Structures are given as structure tokens and as C-alpha cells.
Amino acid sequence: MQSSSLLQALVLSIYITRGVYALPAPSEARNVTARAPAASGPTIPLEWEGIGSIPRIAVPIGSGKTFQMVADTGSASFWVLSQSAAAQLTPARNGLDPTSNTVPNSAWDTSYGDGSLKVEGVIAKAPVTFAGQTSPDLPVGVVNSPGVFPSVTFLKVPYDGVFGFRPGTGPDADTKITTPFRAMVASKKIAPITGWKYPTSSSKGEITLGWVNPADFKAGTQVEVTSGSTEMWTATISSIKVADRVVQLAQPEVTALLDTGTFILRVPPTESIPLLSLIPGFQNLRGKMTIPCDMNAVVSFTIGGKVLTVQGSDLVGAPVSGAKCKPAVEEDASLDAGGWILGSTILHNWHLVFDETTTDTPKIQIAQASA
């Protein structure tokens, strides 16, 4: 178990099959903002505690409770802890009592990561408020066996559940539950578009639903690509640089999963060193890699012909000793060559638009986020 990855340690993300990374993600000249159906619309606050954490949204569910839920573009899950499971955890968390509203014969379980991590629960019906609208009787996954969810120590917020924003329509294949966002899209209340802006020291974070807020990104920096998968948000990276030095990989391109539910950068075996070795002061002592804690070299990713930058400090992880720190980059043996997972340490630098207006060719717009 890797405690630094939501995909493996939080059991919150859908298992990523190897075939995903073989799919191309060609760029297109069109701009997703031109297809947005409205100049304004529903918005929900997006909270994020900074490097080393993952974003969350607050969702009122049941009677008088608001659940802090992981906002996860890597899954289609919609579940919260049961009241009994939440009562056993420290610190205290919100839980939902499913006993009076459980759907008969609705037990479900699903495995994540390499298949060894499992979440089990039932489906209950409860009032859910999302984007200012309350559904009085919405199916909600209620987890009685949360796996390793409560044992992950790096989380700065006691999350109560997961709200997935993976592409697709209808219920999640494993849990048979439809997220409130998908339900709103199905009922034609909003267009199938979300815009993601992480909070900064000077601005609030938000997810726009059915529209794109141009104030959330720097004009002229945006690029649109077609997702390489209809089941995951993936984009092709044609070049990666550290301080203008090209990262030399065996594969000519990287297919990257954009996963807000992972907080670091995850790469296949042997692909971390080509990246990290370009950082001045990098050391690799018998497999224990460190970088300077004050690393500030700009890292850039070329996507759809547009260069998008990341602060070098975002690749700095926990301190080791003195001025040496672990890199916020981990190798993942489950990934094929050229298949990377960009977590929130990378994604918070950018404004992200996920557009399913055309379901067979979902689009992604990426831009430098506004300050």
C-alpha cells in the first residue's frame, strides 16, 4: 500500500486498466468555452489544503449533516461512511444511518488499485443537496467497510466520502449508483461540463457546473484536446522539460490521467529518474531519491502544442534531512511505460474543463489558472 496515493491508499479511484494508456489523445483547434451553454450557472466551492492534500466539496446529505467528500475526477463513485463506521474513527467523521432507507438487496462491493483493496456497502435513499438543488430521495452509497480509508495519515481533512467526476453517463458499474452531477445532466438541468479552479492564497476555489468561468484562467493559455478515453480523463503529453531541459523517456509521448483524487505525480517504474535527474541537487543513494527542499526549477508539459507550466516547488515532498526532501513523485508498478497519473500537486497549477457535450469524444481544456 502506498499511503501517498489516493488510487492505492484511499481506495477511492477506479482501477486503471493498462489499455487506457494506449489510447491517443489528439489535440483540436476548437475551444471548449465556445460550446459552453451559458455565461454563468451553478457553482460549488472547491476546498484544498495545499500540497500533500486532495480537493473536497461539501455535500448536505440526510438530515442536518454536511459531508466532506473527495472531489475525484478518477472515479464515478458516490458514497459516504455509515454512521457506525464513522463512529469508530478518530478524528470524528460524519456518517449516514441507512437502516430505515436501505434499498433491498442492494449490497455492493468494489475493488480498487491492484484489486487487494475493497470497499463494501449498501444503497440507501436520502435527501441530497447539490448545486443548490435538493433531491428528496436520491440513492447514496453507504460504506460499512471502508477498507484503509480511515488509516491514511497524510490527509489533512477527515473526509467522509467520495464524489466522482469521471466521464460517463448513468450509474457506476460497480456500485450501481448515479452521482448527483450525472443525475442533473440526465435531467437536462445542466450541460455535461465542469470547470475546476483550485483555491489559492488570494482566490477561492470552485467547480462550475454546465459552464466555464473565464476569470478562473489566464486568457490565451488554454488548449483543448480530445480525451484518450471515454472512461477516464486522459491527455497526451508530447514533451516534458525541467528548466528547459527535455526529459528523455523511452516512449515518445506520455498518456496522462488527470486525477484530482491522487495528490502526487505517479509514473511507471524507471520513469522517475529521467525526470528527477534534471533537477539540480538530485541524489539517488541505493534507490533512496532526494531533491533540494528549495527546488524551484520550472517544470513544463506540452499538451496539444501548448506549453503548460508547474512550479518546481510542487515536486518537493516531505523533508528527509537538512535541505534534502523526498520528491513528490512515486513509481507505480501497475502503470505501463508512458502512462502517468497527474495528481493535485500538478493539477492545481491549471484550470481544467471537462466537457462531455459529445459523449463519444469527451474534451478537456487546460489553461494556466488565474492567481
Three-state DSSP class for residue 283 = strand
**What average pLDDT does this structure show over 169-192?**
94
User: Which of 36-40, 108-112, 115-119, 235-239 bottoms out in mean pLDDT, i.e. has the lowest?
Assistant: 36-40
Average pLDDT, the chain: 86
Residue 220 pLDDT greater than 50, yes or no: yes
User: Cα–chain-centroid distance for residue 36?
Assistant: 22
**Which pLDDT value is given to residue 52?**
85
E strand or H helix at 223: strand 223-226
Distance CA 180, CA 178 (A): 7
What's the confidence (pLDDT) of residue 149?
A: 61
Long-range pairs of 80-87 with CB within 8 A, sequence gap ≥ 24:
80/140, 80/141, 80/142, 80/143, 80/160, 80/161, 81/142, 81/143, 81/146, 81/149, 81/160, 81/161, 82/121, 82/142, 82/143, 82/144, 84/144, 85/143, 85/144, 85/145, 85/146, 86/160
Mean pLDDT of 49-57: 91
What is the predicted pLDDT for the residue at 86?
86
User: Is residue 158's pLDDT more than 70?
Assistant: yes
Give the residue extent of every domain in the chain: 36-209, 214-368
For domain 36-209, the CATH class is mainly beta
Share of the chain above pLDDT 90, in %: 71
Whether pLDDT at 116 is above 80: no
pLDDT tens-place string over residues 248-275: 999 999 999 999 998 899 999 999 999 9
- The pLDDT score that the predictor gives to residue 151 is 58
State the Cα–Cα distance between residues 169 and 166, nearest whole angstrom: 9
Is 288 a residue whose pLDDT tops 70? yes
Q: Is the pLDDT of residue 179 over 50?
A: yes
Question: 132-136, 148-152, 269-273, 358-362: which has the minimum mean pLDDT?
Answer: 148-152
pLDDT for position 29: 34
Query: What is the model's pLDDT at position 36?
Result: 45
Residue with cell 456518517: 95
Nearest to 258 by CA among 191, 345, 335: 345
Report CA Rg, the chain: 20
Is 70 exceeded by the pLDDT of residue 22? no
Read off the pLDDT of each residue in 152-171 and give the average, rounded to a whole number.
Answer: 81
Return the higher-pLDDT residue of 4 and 297.
Answer: 297
pLDDT confidence tier of residue 114, bands split at 50, 70 and 90: low
- Asked if the model's pLDDT at residue 217 lies above 90, the reply is yes
Q: Is the peptide bond before 91 cis (omega within 30 degrees of 0)?
A: yes
Tell me what the mean pLDDT of segment 117-131 comes to: 90
Q: Distance between the two ends of the chain, CA-based, in angstroms?
A: 35
- CATH 2.40.70.10 describes domain 214-368: yes
CB atoms < 10 A from the CB of 169, how many? 13
Q: Which grid cell sits at 146?
A: 471502508
Q: What average pLDDT does this structure show over 94-104? A: 88
- The whole-angstrom separation of Cα 47 and Cα 32 is 24
Q: Check if the beta carbon of residue 131 is closer than 8 Å to that of residue 29.
A: no
Same fold, 36-209 and 214-368: yes
* Of residues 196 and 64, more confidently modeled: 196
